[in-house]
Structure 1
Amino acid sequence: MAIKVLIVDDSGFFRRRVSEIVNQDPELEVVGMAANGLEAVRMTAELKPNVITMDIEMPVMDGITAVRKIMENTPTPILMFSSLTHEGAKATLDALDAGALDFLPKRFEDIATNKEAAVQLLQQRVRALGRRRVFRPVSRSVTPARSTFSSGLSSTQSPVEAPRPAERNVGRAAVPTRASGKPYKLLLIGTSTGGPVALQRILTRFPADYPHPIVLIQHMPAAFTPAFAARLNSLCQIEVKEATNGDAMRPGCAYLAPGGMQMMVERAGVSGRIKVVAGTPDMNYKPSVDITFASAAKAFGGDVLSVILTGMGADGREGARLLKSAGATIWAQDEASCVVYGMPQAVTVAGISSHSIPLDNMAEAILRESGRG
């Protein structure tokens, strides 16, 4: 059965263009098109699509409000289309907080280097989200530490709850029940689709005196990473900043890899140093989890705790393999709590990760392992 898609945009031309692309894929079927958020809310209830593509700026009802209402009434996976501007970044992050699962640039030339690749990526993202199920928000205990920010994902909401698959005998405990006692010098976290919300859920639980530097690699455009770092910094007790070349890493500070660049870590001084370089055109991911993880394996060896969160593809697997060979600890997010079980699956199936941990338990597990539990 084809994945049913609802397309929402106030531009008739853009609705038709996206509809043509979606319908080219035999696994996808456009079941409706809406010109504003209010129509989207009504048509979602009537048509029960498997996935929605949603514009942000629309008349009558904007996309962020529509996402929030859909998630309250008929929860459905939503892919946002966004402009690659500072304001577009902030609006997209608001939409993700409200419950959207993923986003793509609205200009197709910004999605990929050629038209065919852009079409394939859009179809791939819609297919991946269309296979997920979401449920109504449930109570959580995360409390933002330095902000009264309350839209979307608040201290009492979680817009995405994936169905728990049948238990599998994977030969590892779901959550480590006690700390290994191993000393660490660095925490690495790599993620992609679903990562902004996952990182917020984890990092808002960290105390200001978390004992190690934290390095974050999130697949995200260059226009988005400054706004995302600023948002995390406003919500967390730890400091969060977009990394710059030459940053001396400090305990209790998280360094977000800049979009469109590659970030590496070097052994220098007490805690190490950040190196940021331009990514070459042939690299699929900028930033790349593999590149950052590989540099950490060289610089810090086994003194690293590494986590792979929700995301499409397999970025991070080879870097994690190098880290494990050096004696580092590798964990993955479990399938049930992932928006897309791609990157965590890659390290799990390869036997690289030692534990598959639900998102709700990840912060607690990291703090325990880091000596702060």
Structure 2
Amino acid sequence: MTRAVVVDDSHFMRTVISDILESGGIEVVAQATDGREAVSAVAEHEPDVVTMDVEMPEMNGIEAVAAIMDETPTPVLMLSAHTEKGAEATFEALDRGAIDVLAKPGGEVSTGISAHKDDLVDKVRSVARADVSAGTPSDSATTPIERDETYVENATVVIGASTGGPRVVESVLSGLPRSANLRVLIVQHMPDSFTDRFAKRLDGRTEYDVREARDGDRIGGGEALVARGDYHMAVSNYAKGRLRVRLTQDEQRHGVRPAIDVTMETAAKTISDPLTGVVLTGMGADGAVGIEAIKGAGGQTIAQDEATCSVFGIPARAIETGCVDEVLPADGVSGGILSTVRKPT
């Protein structure tokens, strides 16, 4: 049975979260009211997973995650409010080693979380399977490489990720030089209140112009779109090196929206120039069908390897299709992408 520690400064929220987890077959071995208590509880009980609030007295969630990763490395799921401040703090926690995030419906204290009990239980189980020893990609991947190389024209890259993905996506995009002039589409399974913040973060930390996708958006070389949370991002048109996307709230696929498969399949169908599909760490099978579609359209495909994945689910399912060209560690993915778009000498 999965064992959890629940951390929140609200007695009400601790009770609601604990009751939901217990009803879903997850044993709550301890509760903590702040970060200091959380660190002690994790050391004492050695749980499989921690649900962590962000804003707390004494020691906040960011500091608690850092301390847990230093002292008793354990998968942590951040539970954050639907606010800009909450999103920014959550990304700081992800930097410190947290695995994933789930938004609290309706604010800091709300019975609305009960309406999302299946999501909470599924997310906790997913995060509990994460390998915290996978760590972060090496610093070498954060510097754009091979600037003096020449690349094919009008190449597009579609990157898909889920659990443990934000840090890896950032590392991969950071390793792509602007001179490659790629069009990049990113599908990261993430709550709708966090994808805009994620796009802004990537925009500030990479050489690419990154924004959250809007319906009808068009991008050219050196630009990237992040799929908006709760919306599928489909490639609807491609002409003269520019592609257009359409956002829909069509039925979820693999229980998620946005789905990697939707973006990859429509890209494979619509884009006639060089196309590369990349699947990174995450739970589930989303992306496998998309990788097949890209390979079937003559594109090239890459999957992150098991050793560097927090959760080796999405890449594993893609590899099983037989349509993955290369399996690479997280800090080798950028170089792998560049090899697919480098002009032959």
The TM-score range, normalised by the shorter chain, is 0.7 to 0.9
Partner of 2:316: 345
Partner of 2:168: 198
Q: Shift of residue 137 of structure 1? A: 6.1
Q: Shift of residue 91 of structure 1? A: 1.7
Kept in 2, the 8 Å contact 1:332–1:357? The answer is yes
Partner of 2:80: 82
- For residues 58-79 of structure 1, the C-alpha deviation after alignment (integer angstroms, 9 at most, x for no partner) is 1111111111111122211000
Select the residue among 293, 296, 308 that pairs with 2:279.
Answer: 308
CA distance in 1, matches of 2:271, 2:15: 51
Higher mean C-alpha deviation, range 49-58 or range 300-309: 300-309
Q: Shift of residue 260 of structure 1? A: 2.3
Q: Shift of residue 369 of structure 1? A: 2.5
Q: Shift of residue 251 of structure 1? A: 1.6
Kept in 2, the 8 Å contact 1:142–1:201? The answer is no
Select the residue among 204, 221, 239 that pairs with 1:234.
Answer: 204
Q: Shift of residue 99 of structure 1? A: 0.9
Letter in structure 2 aligned against 1:224: F
**TM-score in terms of structure 2 length:** 0.87
List aligned pairs for 1:60-209, cutoff 5 A.
60-107=58-105, 118-135=116-133, 140-142=138-140, 185-209=155-179
CA distance in 2, matches of 1:139, 1:341: 15
Kept in 1, the 8 Å contact 2:141–2:332? The answer is no
CA distance in 1, matches of 2:317, 2:165: 16
Letter in structure 1 aligned against 2:277: S
CA 138–228 in structure 1, closer or farther in 2 if over 3 Å, else same: closer
Kept in 1, the 8 Å contact 2:6–2:32? The answer is yes
Q: Shift of residue 40 of structure 1? A: 0.7
- For residues 182-236 of structure 1, the C-alpha deviation after alignment (integer angstroms, 9 at most, x for no partner) is 8872111011111111101111122122232111111222221111111111111
Q: Shift of residue 142 of structure 1? A: 3.9
User: Secondary structure, in 3 states, of the residue corresponding to 2:246?
Assistant: strand
- Percent identical residues: 37
Q: Shift of residue 368 of structure 1? A: 2.5
User: Secondary structure, in 3 states, of the residue corresponding to 1:341?
Assistant: coil
Verify: 1:217 aligned to 2:215, yes or no.
no
CA distance in 1, matches of 2:324, 2:2: 32
Partner of 1:164: none
Kept in 2, the 8 Å contact 1:302–1:324? The answer is no
CA distance in 1, matches of 2:126, 2:159: 22
User: Secondary structure, in 3 states, of the residue corresponding to 2:91?
Assistant: helix
CA distance in 2, matches of 1:311, 1:101: 10
User: Secondary structure, in 3 states, of the residue corresponding to 2:215?
Assistant: coil
CA distance in 2, matches of 1:132, 1:123: 15
Kept in 2, the 8 Å contact 1:301–1:327? The answer is no
**TM-score in terms of structure 1 length:** 0.81
Kept in 1, the 8 Å contact 2:134–2:310? The answer is no
Partner of 2:302: 331
Unaligned runs of 5+ in 1: 147-180
Kept in 2, the 8 Å contact 1:210–1:372? The answer is no
Unaligned runs of 5+ in 2: 145-150
CA distance in 2, matches of 1:336, 1:305: 22
Kept in 1, the 8 Å contact 2:129–2:311? The answer is no
- For residues 218-270 of structure 1, the C-alpha deviation after alignment (integer angstroms, 9 at most, x for no partner) is 12222211111111111112222222334332222211112222222244432
- For residues 135-174 of structure 1, the C-alpha deviation after alignment (integer angstroms, 9 at most, x for no partner) is 496893247679xxxxxxxxxxxxxxxxxxxxxxxxxxxx
Q: How many residues were matched structurally?
A: 335
CA 133–294 in structure 1, closer or farther in 2 if over 3 Å, else same: closer
Q: Shift of residue 116 of structure 1? A: 8.4
- For residues 288-324 of structure 1, the C-alpha deviation after alignment (integer angstroms, 9 at most, x for no partner) is 2111111111112573110011122222222222222
Kept in 2, the 8 Å contact 1:301–1:328? The answer is no
List aligned pairs for 1:218-297, cutoff 5 A.
218-280=188-250, 284-297=255-268
Q: Shift of residue 130 of structure 1? A: 2.0
Kept in 1, the 8 Å contact 2:49–2:124? The answer is yes
Kindly report the root-mean-square deviation, in angstroms, between the aligned alpha carbons of the 2 structures.
2.9
CA distance in 2, matches of 1:282, 1:46: 40
CA distance in 2, matches of 1:139, 1:128: 21
Letter in structure 1 aligned against 2:31: M
User: Secondary structure, in 3 states, of the residue corresponding to 2:218?
Assistant: coil
Verify: 1:357 aligned to 2:320, yes or no.
no
Partner of 2:15: 16
CA distance in 2, matches of 1:22, 1:246: 40
CA distance in 1, matches of 2:134, 2:70: 6
User: Secondary structure, in 3 states, of the residue corresponding to 1:88?
Assistant: helix
User: Secondary structure, in 3 states, of the residue corresponding to 1:312?
Assistant: coil
User: Secondary structure, in 3 states, of the residue corresponding to 2:86?
Assistant: helix
